[in-house]
Amino acid sequence: MSTTLPLFHQRLKPRHRRLGTCHEPSVRGPARIDTKSQRGEPPTPCYVYLLLHKANERFKAGLSQAPKVRAAMLPDATCIALDRSIQVEFASPGRASEVERMLHKALAGFRMQVVGADGQAWDGGTEWFAMPGLRHAINLLRVTPLAGDGFEMAQLRTLEGEPYLDVSIPEMMTTAQQRRQLAADHNLQRLSMIAGVLHTLTRLLTVAFREADPVLGTPARVCLHGFKDAWNPMLLKARFTLVSSALWDLQTGLADINRKTVPLVKLMQYSHDTPGMMELVVNDLSLIRNLPAGERVVRLWMGVMAEL
């Protein structure tokens, strides 16, 4: 791959660019998006991608409705590590564009401008970043909501659509290690989703955290006052998400289907003492700490509780 190096040079250089379009190979610009919207058709899914270069310490962050096709159109397409590149699907080009803007702003200090040997800018040459910024890009995408409500986090996948394993040498991981890595990713994303649901409910409800009482033998609880009658349209999605047991299931990384998950909240019930109050009975946090990324999950959970 070193033979590609003389074909271009790189320099760190701040720049400005027009944003808000989805770089699809055949059609670009907002005209196509606006036309579909005017016709009342559902928006076309769009991807934010991270394309890793094989020969140089850099990666490209952009958006496209077809990331693999986009990669094939780059001047140095043969040097793109397709097996290590990443994509995240968003429901619309508009949301993907928002995420791309956020990503480019956060990575501004790592920006590079790639030009040809003749000094002319390449297609997509202003969307490259130095490799040390890749860790920041991955971490940001992991905690990015798919939509504006913050309920569901972005899912990182390879360009082939498989779950992305965030390791340096994936082939050296055992199957058990891969399961644990995926479980850790799931658990951290799930805590971000839980935080979004609870913060939405605090807009109109009083939500309080009661710590466990060893003397009385009562477990920790999250108390949502007035939840029973909370049918405000602003809260409906958060309400239905909260009472779904799937929201609270954290993964163990074990192959045994009967031991695949451990709930963060082990019981949901209306209070016997306070009418209309929903109680979320929290599981023993020592069990949560033993899960993949368990220590970080507990820290995040306690941080959310401290904000209530």
- DSSP annotation of 205 reads S
Distance CA 65, CA 43 (A): 11
The pLDDT value recorded for residue 136 is: 87
148 and 186, same domain (yes or no):
no
Q: Give the total number of structural domains in the chain.
A: 2
Distance CA 75, CA 238 (A): 46
- DSSP annotation of 264 reads S
Residue type at position 86 = I
- Supply 36's token pair: 């579909």
Q: Final residue of a domain: which of 115, 136, 164? A: 164
The answer as to whether 6 is a domain residue is yes
The pLDDT value recorded for residue 299 is: 92
DSSP string, 76-120: TGGGB-TTT-EEEEESSHHHHHHHHHHHHHHTGGGEEEEEETTSP
The answer as to whether 226 is a domain residue is yes
Residue partners of 249: CB distance under 8 A and separation at least 6: 190, 261, 262, 263, 264
Q: Is 217 helix (H, G, I), strand (E, B) or coil?
A: coil
The answer as to whether 169 is a domain residue is no
Distance CA 106, CA 112 (A): 14
Q: Final residue of a domain: which of 129, 164, 199? A: 164
Residues across the chain: 308
Distance CA 308, CA 306 (A): 6
What residues does 47 pair with on adjacent strands? Answer: 64, 89
229 and 126, same domain (yes or no):
no
pLDDT in tens, 75-101: 888 999 998 999 999 999 999 999 999
Residue ranges making up the domain that contains 146: 2-164
46 and 89, same domain (yes or no):
yes
The pLDDT value recorded for residue 71 is: 93
129 and 223, same domain (yes or no):
no
**Local mean pLDDT, 10-residue blocks, the chain (308 residues):** 40 39 35 45 87 90 94 90 93 93 93 72 79 88 78 85 68 73 84 89 95 92 96 92 95 92 97 95 96 92 92
The answer as to whether 211 is a domain residue is yes
- Supply 192's token pair: 């971000």
Residue type at position 216 = L
250 and 292, same domain (yes or no):
yes
192 and 150, same domain (yes or no):
no
Torsion of CA 82, 84, 85, 89, to 10 degrees: 110
Distance CA 225, CA 271 (A): 10
The pLDDT value recorded for residue 16 is: 38
142 and 256, same domain (yes or no):
no
The answer as to whether 65 is a domain residue is yes
160 and 220, same domain (yes or no):
no
53 and 160, same domain (yes or no):
yes
Q: Final residue of a domain: which of 104, 133, 164? A: 164
The pLDDT value recorded for residue 119 is: 63
The pLDDT value recorded for residue 230 is: 93
Distance CA 129, CA 132 (A): 8
pLDDT in tens, 5-16: 433 344 444 443
107 and 147, same domain (yes or no):
yes
Residue partners of 78: CB distance under 8 A and separation at least 6: 4
The answer as to whether 99 is a domain residue is yes
E-state strands within the chain:
8-11, 46-52, 58-64, 86-90, 111-116, 128-130, 157-158, 206-210, 221-225, 249-251, 261-263, 265-270, 278-282
The answer as to whether 174 is a domain residue is no
186 and 159, same domain (yes or no):
no
- Residue in this structure with the two tokens 């790592």, named with its chain if needed: 110
The answer as to whether 26 is a domain residue is yes
| Cβ-defined contacts of 101-107 (< 8 Å, 24+) | 101/19, 101/20, 102/140, 102/144, 103/48, 103/61, 103/137, 103/140, 103/141, 104/19, 104/61, 106/136, 106/137, 106/140, 107/61, 107/133, 107/136, 107/137
81 and 197, same domain (yes or no):
no
Distance CA 53, CA 57 (A): 7
**Contact between residue 277 and residue 271 where contact means Cβ atoms under 8 Å apart:** yes
Residue type at position 174 = T
